[in-house]
Chain A
């Protein structure tokens, strides 16, 4: 939670705007909805880790306005994002692009799971190699045994 403290020190102190302002909202609800979705994946460049929708910083407001401007001009969502990235760098993307440089990040989960899965499987197989044969009690016998054991 310290981050929140840091954010607010960084963002709040300077400018007192509360995230998206009523005057920024677009007339067309469909466009506005798209703007909000785009805003969620764009990071406020000077904040700790807030998206531009949540941020109170001036630069976040600028970005929100840019996003809306591009949308009104008829850009598609990816075009808007490209436009922002071209000016502010990859840093503003909360979702790192699927590029060669980021491949390790994106493949980390599946690769870890695969390796871990293989190790677990080998472990389980080794553990079961000398497992005793299938439980030889029939259901009736088991019920009886349970009864005797008081469970």
Chain B
């Protein structure tokens, strides 16, 4: 009964979405304010109905209602409660419902908080947003209904894929979706602006928080997935350049570009058409990330044929959204005029370079991801594109980005002077290069990866510190004055500092872990010991244990330094009987400079276990860097200008509202 309620709520939400797609748009076109105004209640009702449907589905999972097909095929009564809840979105249908839930939530937020948005713009934005919702509701109701009942409910369910029964992966999709859907907001604003033919500072200030939020959530989501892969897959890999990862990485790169170009629109009233284009591009990649991954088309052309209905539907949504928006762009972009000018050496130019590098890097990733498909379609060859290609083709862009970042982050708007900007940075540059050289000497030659990564990482971090120090006039005025300046510095500037600093940390971490990782593989019996990286590692025991819905072979290793036990690690090999699937849980001893990472493999025929040990230098810095980066996004998001002094169209000089940097 309850399930049918969810189904009906979904159908009603679909109806409301259709109305909300048409009426406010027509009203805005005709200038009828009552037609426009209906977008607000409609958006709220749409959210409420979708929320109800989602709640019902979650309830079915919590109570293990196996008469619902989705629950029966993706849940089990023995599963821990946490994973019953997160299992709601651990499958195709449920994750789509979560996607739409977030979509309608964001729509409702614009409706609820958008009081100061001009009526016409608000109506059009909500209408476009609703058009996206319509396509998703239709997709769900016609091809992927989560509420299908089973005539003969099974006694127990099929269980959730054990790999998804993990906190890292349980919350990975919601964050990614928050990111993808946040970009839908930027898309809706872009399309609405194209229809209106007006893009100004106020528009940019509306778009930027959504982009910022989307980027921040994507950062968290991607980092979580990476963190999960690191400890769960048993060899401590954290990035694989896999199509599915790339699908989430491309929107991240484009949204990073977009949030930089939106600053230019907001503060300098230029780069408008480009920003609109980026907004469309960012959401296009989100859609590709959401759908192409599901259709399996990237893995193989043939997977597409497995479920033609879904495939055709996906193609239609992609075609209408991306094709439609780009057509509109082509037809209307010329009406967006920019008035301001800037010199070739200026922060604007720096941000153009930033955008160029990020977008070309995105296309390289995109090209590499779809190349197997192109090759198969054009010449019938089956080829693979993997990490070696991406490392080679993608990294140079990031190196370029890191090289120019600290310079143009402090370059004045409009017209700068390169030698003047560089003057305080020479010291930082020298220090960074010296650090890189030191690293090179310490590792006694070998790959240039770590020295280059260390140089760039430090260059960015010190550049950030120098920028903040200059802004608060550290050591130039009394400390109390510097403190006052630091407190008064807009949060957006702190956000910028943290986001850039986090990137610097990531550069270092990626280079260090890639270059310096060491590995050991051996067969060990109970009581055996070996030395690695200055530690003695002892296999103390292996026990057979039982989890709520799995069996586990848990090993205990002692980590000794100079005969004293400093840590114990317990890697596990689990077996989930319902899904007949083994998983590994690595034993990790984390510290600032390195992770010691142990996994236990199969029992060997001649006795003992295969034991794999890694020392992963600076692994934690990967997660710390990501957290610092997203914290920067959060800080920027809470900037005063988004909370009060809400964007209005009256402000003539965008610079006046924000202290010039």
Knowing A5-B161, A12-B582, A22-B523, say if A105 contacts B371 (CB, 8 Å). Answer: yes
B317-366 interface with A by 8 A CB criterion: 338, 340-344, 348-349, 352-353, 356, 359-360, 363-364
Question: B223 → chain A, closest Cβ, in Å?
Answer: 12
Q: From A2, A4, A128, give the contact of B341 (CB < 8 A).
A: A128
Q: Does B169 contact A (CB under 8 A)?
A: yes
- B244 lies within 8 A of A2 (CB): yes
Residues of B within 8 A of A91 (CB): 382-384
Q: Does A21 contact B (CB under 8 A)?
A: yes
Knowing A4-B233, A22-B610, A94-B388, say if A16 contacts B582 (CB, 8 Å). Answer: yes
B299-320 interface with A by 8 A CB criterion: 299
Q: In the assembly, what is the distance between CA of A22 and CA of B234, in Å?
A: 15
Q: Does B415 contact A (CB under 8 A)?
A: yes
Q: In the assembly, what is the distance between CA of A59 and CA of B16, in Å?
A: 53
Residues of B within 8 A of A9 (CB): 161, 581
Q: From B356, B386, B602, B659, give the contact of A43 (CB < 8 A).
A: B386
Chain B residues touching A, range: 35 or more
Residues of A within 8 A of B342 (CB): 124, 127-128, 131
- B169 lies within 8 A of A89 (CB): no
Contact digits for A129-141, partner B, Cβ 8 Å, 1 yes 0 no:
1111011000000
Of the listed stretches B17-25, B198-206, B235-243, B532-540, chain A binds B235-243
Q: In the assembly, what is the distance between CA of A130 and CA of B270, in Å?
A: 14
- A40 lies within 8 A of B388 (CB): yes
A21-64 interface with B by 8 A CB criterion: 21-23, 25, 40-41, 43, 48-51, 54
- A2 lies within 8 A of B293 (CB): yes
Chain A residues touching B, range: 35 or more
Main DSSP-derived SS at the B contact region: mixed
Q: In the assembly, what is the distance between CA of A120 and CA of B244, in Å?
A: 31
- B242 lies within 8 A of A13 (CB): no
Question: B396 → chain A, closest Cβ, in Å?
Answer: 8
- A128 lies within 8 A of B293 (CB): no
Knowing A43-B384, A102-B383, A130-B341, say if A18 contacts B240 (CB, 8 Å). Answer: no
Q: Does B566 contact A (CB under 8 A)?
A: no
Q: Does B163 contact A (CB under 8 A)?
A: yes
Q: In the assembly, what is the distance between CA of A54 and CA of B232, in Å?
A: 13
Q: In the assembly, what is the distance between CA of A105 and CA of B161, in Å?
A: 36
Q: Does B291 contact A (CB under 8 A)?
A: no
Q: In the assembly, what is the distance between CA of A95 and CA of B612, in Å?
A: 27
- Of all chain B residues, the one with the shortest Cβ separation from A94 is B386
- B235 lies within 8 A of A94 (CB): no
A-B contacts, 20 listed (Cβ < 8 Å): A1-B225, A1-B245, A3-B242, A6-B299, A18-B599, A51-B386, A91-B382, A94-B385, A94-B389, A96-B371, A96-B383, A102-B375, A109-B363, A109-B393, A117-B356, A124-B352, A127-B270, A127-B338, A132-B415, A151-B660
* Chain B contacts to A: CB under 8 angstroms: 161, 163-164, 169, 172, 225, 228-229, 233-235, 237, 240-245, 270, 293, 299, 338, 340-344, 348-349, 352-353, 356, 359-360, 363-364, 367-368, 371, 374-375, 379, 381-389, 392-394, 396-397, 414-415, 521-523, 580-584, 599, 601-602, 604, 610, 612, 659-660
Given contacts A90-B383, A108-B367, A113-B397, 8 further A-B contacts (CB under 8 A): A1-B169, A4-B244, A5-B161, A18-B601, A19-B612, A48-B242, A102-B375, A128-B343
